């Protein structure tokens, strides 16, 4: 397949997978608690990546597998908490209060949090009027989504959970860039180890809040959880690395904008969620803010910071 078409296919596949994660979360929450769902997707994703990593070790024995030093695992455990366990749990909690399309729309603010945090820590490009305007537009878009002036406004706690989840992603980018990316480990090994650690975190949550056993009367929530873990959490990482290799940082960044569009479309078509004016306008304002605040250097840093945690 020609390189151009291969890149487009990877972009489309990743956008559909990560964009559909929000709808899968909503469906799975019909029988699973947020903690149960988060543990299930972490475990399934870890199994997929460990399988891929094991196959890679067989085909190329010279490649390194999972890290074997305690220092790497300490940093991986911290990264797993802020990049996987906590934001995934927050998105699941949020979708008990808001539509999947709203969660998908708010997640688009992640690049703005990343640039704001990098600027605050003086690890990025100088703060410019363009970037400030982009960040403020992103916050304005979230305010439009909330629509506090409407009687039937979106649940503020649900949106707040999504905003904090997006902030967790931003913190994880900075943390992984400093403590994990410089280590002599492949991105696939880092991701597999990170999901193993995230599974441990979510298992700890389940130990204290197990919740009622999930019902087996319906199969669609179980299928949604399996798809979310195997495809949306595991296979998506593999596609993400293939996309970055094929298209580079700037090409892979297109997925950021498509995820939101896919999540809103699937929420409306599959789940019957309303396409309100506030949702459409707020999403558009957030995406314009993201476009304003990003440049080639920022894109390269975002990708070099390590594996994207996914959605």
pLDDT tens digits for 151-175?
Answer: 667 888 999 999 999 999 889 888 8
* Per-residue pLDDT tens digits for 84-128: 999 999 999 999 999 999 999 999 888 888 778 877 777 666 777
Alpha helices (H) in the chain, listed in sequence order: 3-28, 34-59, 70-80, 86-94, 100-107, 110-120, 129-146, 156-179, 187-208, 220-229, 236-252, 254-271, 277-293, 296-304
**R_g of the chain computed on alpha carbons:** 19
Contact 307, 181 (CB under 8 A): no
Residue in the structure block whose two tokens are 């479309």? 265
- Per domain, the residue ranges of the chain are 3-304
DSSP state, 158? H
Q: Which residue has the higher pLDDT, 62 or 25?
A: 25
40-60 burial by CB neighbour count: b if 16+ within 10 A, else e?
bbbbbbbbbbbebbeeeeeee
**Alpha carbons 294 and 12: distance in angstroms, whole number:** 21
Question: Read out DSSP for 125-153?
Answer: SPP-HHHHHHHHHHHHHHHHHH-TTSTTP
Please state the pTM of the whole predicted model.
0.86
Query: What is the phi/psi pair of residue 248, to 5°?
Result: 80, -175
User: With 50 as the cut, is the pLDDT of residue 210 above it?
Assistant: yes
* Per-residue pLDDT tens digits for 27-76: 999 999 999 999 999 999 999 999 988 865 544 555 567 888 888 899 99
- Residue 306, Ramachandran bin (φ over 0: left; ψ between -120 and 50: alpha; else beta): left
* Residue 232: Cβ-neighbour burial (10 angstroms; 0-12, 13-18, 19+): buried
The mean pLDDT value for 117-144 works out to: 79
What's residue 168's pLDDT? 93
């Amino acid at each position: 397949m020609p390189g151009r078409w291969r890149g487009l296919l990877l972009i489309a596949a990743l956008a559909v997978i990560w964009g559909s994660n929000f709808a899968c979360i909503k469906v799975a929450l019909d029988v699973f608690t947020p903690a149960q769902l988060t543990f299930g997707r972490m475990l399934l994703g870890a199994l997929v990546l460990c399988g891929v990593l094991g196959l890679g070790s067989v085909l190329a024995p010279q490649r390194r597998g999972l890290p074997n030093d305690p220092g790497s695992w300490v940093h991986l455990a911290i990264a797993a908490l802020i990049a996987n366990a906590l934001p995934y749990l927050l998105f699941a909690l949020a979708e008990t209060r808001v539509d999947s399309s709203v969660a998908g729309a708010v997640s688009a603010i992640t690049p703005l949090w990343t640039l704001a945090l990098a600027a605050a820590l003086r690890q990025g490009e100088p703060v410019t009027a363009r970037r400030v305007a982009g960040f403020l537009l992103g916050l304005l878009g979230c305010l439009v989504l909330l629509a506090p002036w409407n009687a039937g406004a979106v649940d503020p706690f649900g949106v707040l959970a999504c905003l904090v989840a997006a902030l967790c992603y931003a913190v994880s980018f900075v943390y992984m860039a400093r403590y994990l990316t410089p280590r002599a480990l492949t991105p696939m090994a880092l991701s597999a180890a990170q999901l193993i650690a995230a599974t441990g975190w979510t298992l700890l949550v389940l130990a204290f809040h197990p919740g009622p056993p999930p019902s087996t009367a319906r199969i669609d929530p179980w299928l949604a959880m399996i798809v979310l873990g195997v495809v949306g959490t595991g296979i998506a990482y593999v596609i993400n690395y293939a996309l970055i290799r094929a298209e580079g940082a700037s090409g892979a960044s297109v997925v950021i904008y498509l995820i939101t569009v896919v999540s809103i479309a699937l929420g409306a078509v599959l789940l019957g969620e309303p396409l309100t004016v506030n949702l459409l306008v707020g999403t558009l304002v957030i995406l314009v803010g993201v476009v304003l605040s990003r440049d080639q250097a920022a894109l390269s840093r975002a990708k070099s910071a390590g594996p994207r945690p996914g959605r």
